[in-house]
Structure formats: C-alpha cells, structure tokens
C-alpha cells in the first residue's frame, strides 16, 4: 500500500494569517473602480460599503479618520474610484478594501454630486432671495479670499485702485483648487467676518474646468457664505455654468474683475449723485432767491405803499415849512425888539435913567429866554404831532393791517373783493396774507343779506 506524501497541516488562524500577509504585502495603495452599494455609516463614524461591477463585488471599509477627509457625500449607485489597501478580517475570514480616499469617477459623477448638494441646500432655504444682503454703499475695507499667486487677486486690486478713491483691500490667502481648498476658503470667510472694518467679501478665482472649480461646489464653502455677517460676492471665473457658491452668495459675478468693478462703481455712483444733488440745490436756492426778490419789487411797487410814502413826504415838507416860518418870525420879532429897546435906551440915556435901563434890560433878557423856550416847545409839539400822524398813517397802511391778522382777497382778475356777492360757488380767488399768498376756490357764498336772515332766525 502506497503512503501519502507528508504535507503541512495549517490551523484556521494560521492559514488566515498567511492569506492576510500575502494580501497586505501585495496590494498596498491600489485603485479600485466600481459602483457603491450598501453604503452604511456606523455610530462611531466608520463607513461600510461594497464596490461592485457586472460580475463581482468587494467589501470596503473607510474608518472615521479618513471619512472626515472626504470632500463630499456619496450614496448607493455612485460610480467612484477608491484608493486603499487590501486586508483580511480574521474573525470572519473575509477580505476587504480599507479605503484611504474616495473620489467621484468622471464628470457625470461630479454633476451628480453637484445636483445632490444643490437640492439639499435649496431645500434648507440657503438660496432664498430674502436672505440676500445688499452691498454696502461705501465699504471701509473689502475682504478677498483667493490665491495670492493667481491672476484673480491682481485683477481685483488693479480695478479697486483704478477708481476715483482707492478702496482698501485685505487678502486672506487660500488655495482655490485641490484637496483642502474648500476648507481654506471657508476658513478665510470666517476669519474676515471677525474683522470689524471688513464690510464686503469677494470669494473667487479665475476660470477653469469643473474639476478645477470643484472647491466652490463643496458644502463647507456654502455653509461659510450662508452664515457670513457681511455681504459676499461670488466671483468665480466662468460665464455659463454656476457653482454652489454662486447660489448661496448675496451677489454673483462672472469674473473677479467684474466683482471689483461693481464695488468701485457703487462708490463712483454715489460721488456722481452727490455732485448732481449739489448742483440741483444751488439751482433751487437761486430760483427761490429770484422769486423773493421779484416779490419784494412787486410789493414795493404797490399803490398803497406809494400813497403812504407820498403822505409822509408831504408831512415832512409841511414840518420843514413850519420850521422856516417859526425861524423867520423869531428873527423878525427879535430884530424889532432890539430896535425898540435901542431907541428906548437912547431916550433913557438922555434922561440919565441908568437904573431903569438896567431893569428893562433884565426884563428883555428874560423875555428873550421865554421866547426861545416857547419856540422850542412849539417845534417839539409840531414834531410829536408829525410823528403821531406818521405812525397812524403807517398803522392804516396795508402791511400793518395784514400784520394784525387781516387779509386781502382778490378775484381771478386781481380786483380786491369787498362784496361776497361778486363771487359764485367754485370761482377761484387769491388771499394775500402778511407772509405769503393762498390760492383758494369759493365753496359757499354768504352775502350780508344771508347773514342778516340767519341772525333773525337765531333771535328768540
């Protein structure tokens, strides 16, 4: 009888360990493409799923530390590319792919992820117009989140400095493409929100493919824009397609340059409007002064004022004439008295009556003083009378009457109304007050006869 060749016998653990050693030694950093199925997230944050194609499937595990680094969320049916290493779970004797990273496969996968995140944020109301904040008219400082070496920052700064008044800008340098770019952009938005002088934030970059712009299609950036206290302009360099940041931002522009032009134009528009309003104010003031000047000239040409001025002039002339007459009478009287006393003195001298002459001279001086006093009193009385007549004349003038609360009514032809019967209901008329005119229209006409009837009816 032939004996069987001697062969090593493995235990279950031993053979499993051998298989594990072979797999982990040969399949490190492999790339596996497939469709996700049975996507499950444990309470600890680990992700379990399977990759499958038309003929097979492969179990996969993405532990919590790696899962936190995923740039987007995935669902069953997503076509992905997984990078990781093969390993064996010895308790079950199953081999799995331990994922280090998961990326969507192809433009179609990116579009699916874009549409999924867009629908989610739209359902939360992050795209609502009611949430949009208006741009500040005069921003003190413009915050910019972009690459410090890209063309976008140079275009923005050149445009801001080209305006009439240079607008201060503060750059938060961030990567705008590749792994970790979304987190840096979100951190920049949060940081600039903490600076009091920053009144506006521009987030963007130059143009590129969908993969290049993918950082602006990720949830961290969208969330950071949605909670920003200051307005955010999304300035991603593309003309046709929109990014998620465009939908969430308060304003969307097609390029970084157009965002800067919008900010600069707001300040220049305010300066232009201020200049226009200043010119309009000057025109209005000049027109108002011209109207007041014409009104003063019109009032000064009124016949009532001319009549009052004429009376005042007549009184002044009469006072001057009386003064001239009084002066002539006084001079004539004094001359005749001097002549009389001269003759008298001559006569008295002949009779040597010196004592009598002295007494007469004293009497004459006293009479002269009394006459001068009487003349002064007479002139004062005439002046007081003229002043009283002038005041009375002024008080009877139209201006004084208007100042006491009376008014002058004129019909449409400018004729002064003295009888209400000259108007009919609905006729226009004007009212001249002490300060200003009023255009009015007759609502009800009551004549003196109507008022008398009413008084009779009211008597008991």
83-104 residue pLDDT tens: 998 888 888 888 889 999 988 8
Say whether pLDDT at 3 is over 70.
Answer: no
Q: Is 93 left (phi over 0), alpha (psi -120 to 50) or beta?
A: left
Say whether pLDDT at 301 is over 70.
Answer: no
- The model's confidence at residue 349, banded by pLDDT at 50, 70 and 90, is low
205-253 residue pLDDT tens: 988 777 788 899 999 999 999 999 999 999 987 655 688 999 999 999 8
Range from 96-105, 189-198, 296-305, 438-447 that averages highest in pLDDT: 189-198
In this prediction the pTM is 0.43
Euclidean distance between CA atoms 310 and 307, whole angstroms: 5
- What six digits make up the tokens of 378? 């007479």
Better-scored residue on pLDDT, 121 or 278: 121
Over residues 323-330, mean pLDDT: 72
The single residue listed with the structure tokens 């992905």 is 80
Euclidean distance between CA atoms 411 and 428, whole angstroms: 7
How much is the pLDDT for 401? 74
Question: 146-155, 173-182, 372-381, 392-401: lowest mean pLDDT where?
Answer: 392-401
């Amino acid at each position: 009888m032939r004996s069987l060749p001697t062969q090593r016998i493995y235990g279950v653990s031993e053979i499993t360990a051998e298989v594990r050693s072979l797999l982990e030694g040969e399949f490190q950093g492999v790339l596996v493409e497939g469709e996700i199925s049975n996507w499950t997230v444990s309470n600890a944050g680990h992700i379990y799923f399977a990759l499958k194609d038309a003929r097979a499937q492969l179990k996969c595990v993405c532990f919590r530390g790696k899962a936190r680094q995923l740039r987007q969320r995935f669902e069953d049916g997503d076509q992905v590319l997984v990078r990781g290493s093969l390993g064996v779970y010895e308790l079950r004797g199953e081999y799995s792919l331990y994922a280090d990273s998961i990326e969507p496969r192809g433009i179609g996968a990116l579009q699916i992820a874009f549409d999924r995140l867009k629908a989610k944020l739209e359902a939360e109301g992050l795209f609502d117009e009611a949430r949009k904040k208006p741009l500040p008219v005069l921003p003190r400082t413009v915050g910019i989140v972009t690459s410090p070496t890209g063309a976008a920052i140079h275009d923005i700064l050149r445009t801001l400095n080209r305006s009439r008044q240079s607008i201060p800008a503060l750059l938060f340098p961030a990567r705008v493409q590749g792994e970790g770019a979304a987190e840096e952009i979100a951190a920049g938005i949060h940081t600039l929100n903490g600076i009091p002088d920053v009144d506006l934030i521009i987030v963007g970059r130059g143009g590129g493919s969908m993969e290049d712009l993918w950082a602006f299609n990720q949830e961290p950036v969208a969330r950071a824009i949605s909670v920003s206290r200051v307005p955010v302009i999304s300035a991603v360099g593309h003309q046709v397609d929109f990014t998620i940041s465009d939908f969430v931002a308060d304003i969307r522009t097609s390029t970084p340059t157009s965002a800067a032009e919008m900010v600069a134009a707001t300040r220049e528009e305010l300066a232009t409007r201020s200049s226009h309003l200043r010119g309009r104010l000057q025109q209005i003031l000049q027109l108002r002064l011209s109207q007041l000047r014409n009104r003063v000239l019109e009032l000064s040409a009124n016949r009532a004022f001319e009549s009052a001025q004429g009376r005042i002039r007549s009184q002044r002339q009469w006072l001057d004439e009386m003064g001239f007459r009084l002066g002539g009478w006084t001079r004539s009287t004094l001359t005749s008295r001097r002549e009389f006393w001269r003759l008298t003195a001559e006569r008295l001298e002949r009779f040597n009556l010196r004592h009598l002459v002295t007494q007469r001279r004293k009497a004459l001086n006293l009479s002269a003083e009394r006459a001068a006093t009487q003349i002064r009193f007479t002139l004062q009385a005439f002046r007081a009378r003229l002043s009283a007549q002038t005041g009375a004349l002024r008080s009877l003038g139209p201006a004084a009457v208007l100042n006491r609360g009376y008014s002058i009514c004129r019909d449409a032809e400018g004729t002064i109304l003295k009888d209400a019967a000259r108007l009919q209901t609905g006729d226009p008329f004007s009212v001249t007050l002490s300060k200003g005119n009023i255009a009015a229209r007759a609502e009800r006409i009551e004549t003196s006869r109507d008022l008398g009837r009413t008084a009779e009816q009211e008597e008991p």
